[in-house]
Each structure stands twice: as C-alpha cells, then as structure tokens.
C-alpha cells in the first residue's frame, strides 16, 4: 500500500453556523452534501463537520469538540494573513514562529476556532 494524500478531516463542533462562519473568514467555502451534511472546502481538501451528539457513523471513538489541531498552508506571506485576520476580527494566539512542517521549514500563526480547536496557518519557507 502507498498512501497518496489527505482527502478530508472530520471536526466535531458544537455550533455549526459559528464554525462555518469562522472558517469562511479563513477563505474556506461551505459545501452541503449527502443527507444535509456540511463540509468546508479549500483547494482539493475539505473539513467535514459533525455536530456534537449527532455524529455521522462511523466516527472517532470519543468525538470531542475542541480536540483537533490543524496546520493549513497559506498562499503568500504571513504578514498579509495577519492583516486579513485583523480585518476579520480573528485574534492570533501566537506567532509568527518558526516550525517544521511535513516537507520542511514553515513559519506559523496560531489561532482558535469557536470550539477551541487549534488552527495553525503556515507559510512554507
């Protein structure tokens, strides 16, 4: 077996609309699919959203809002991202800081979504 890529990740959320609004400010777009399911699409990936207490089967053994850490690569420079986040009223918790990504050095900002999930926005170095 040879794995190729990540297709999607599932996030368990308490407030679907607040979560969608937050990630839309980051440039994702809402997608409805299946039996009234919600996802957030960006590039060729997506985040599927499960409402806490009404998760879609099968799901993680202990689906918990606020337990996800995501690292998302951005186009452009983090300085531009900082300006856009400030304009959108999204607070930055940490950064920019130097980190190591999947393919090498990255520079990152950290923020939290409405459930407290850690969202790392990174620029490849």
Query: Which CATH number covers residue 31?
Result: 3.10.180.10
Q: What is the helix, strand, coil percentage profile of the chain, to 5? A: 15, 40, 40
Average pLDDT over residues 20-45: 95
Catalytically active residues are 120
Q: For residues 84 and 78, what is the distance between their CA atoms, to the nearest angstrom?
A: 10
Average pLDDT over residues 115-121: 98
Q: What pLDDT is stored for residue 35 in this prediction?
A: 86
Residue 104 within a domain = yes
Residue 3 within a domain = no
Residue 18 within a domain = yes
Give the confidence band of 26 by pLDDT, cuts at 50, 70, 90.
Answer: very high
Q: For residues 47 and 19, what is the distance between their CA atoms, to the nearest angstrom?
A: 11
**Strand runs labelled E in the chain:** 8-13, 29-33, 37-42, 45-51, 69-73, 94-100, 105-112, 118-124
- Number of independent structural domains in the chain: 1
Nearest Cα neighbor of 69 from 123, 108, 107 is: 108
Residue 100 within a domain = yes
36-89: pLDDT as tens digits:
899 999 999 999 999 999 999 999 999 999 999 999 999 999 999 999 999 999
Give the domain extent around 13.
Answer: 8-124
- pTM to 2 decimal places: 0.94
């Amino acid at each position: 077996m040879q794995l190729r890529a990540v297709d999607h990740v599932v996030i368990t959320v308490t407030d679907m609309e607040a979560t969608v609004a937050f990630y839309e400010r980051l440039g994702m777009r809402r997608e409805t699919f299946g039996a009234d399911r919600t996802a957030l699409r960006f590039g060729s990936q997506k985040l599927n959203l499960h409402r806490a207490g009404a998760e879609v089967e099968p799901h993680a053994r202990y689906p918990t809002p606020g337990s996800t850490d995501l690292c998302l690569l951005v186009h452009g420079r983090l300085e531009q991202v900082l300006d856009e986040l400030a304009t959108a009223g999204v607070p930055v918790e940490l950064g920019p800081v130097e980190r190591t990504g999947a393919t090498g050095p990255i520079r990152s900002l950290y923020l939290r979504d409405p459930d407290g999930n850690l969202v790392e926005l990174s620029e490849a170095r």
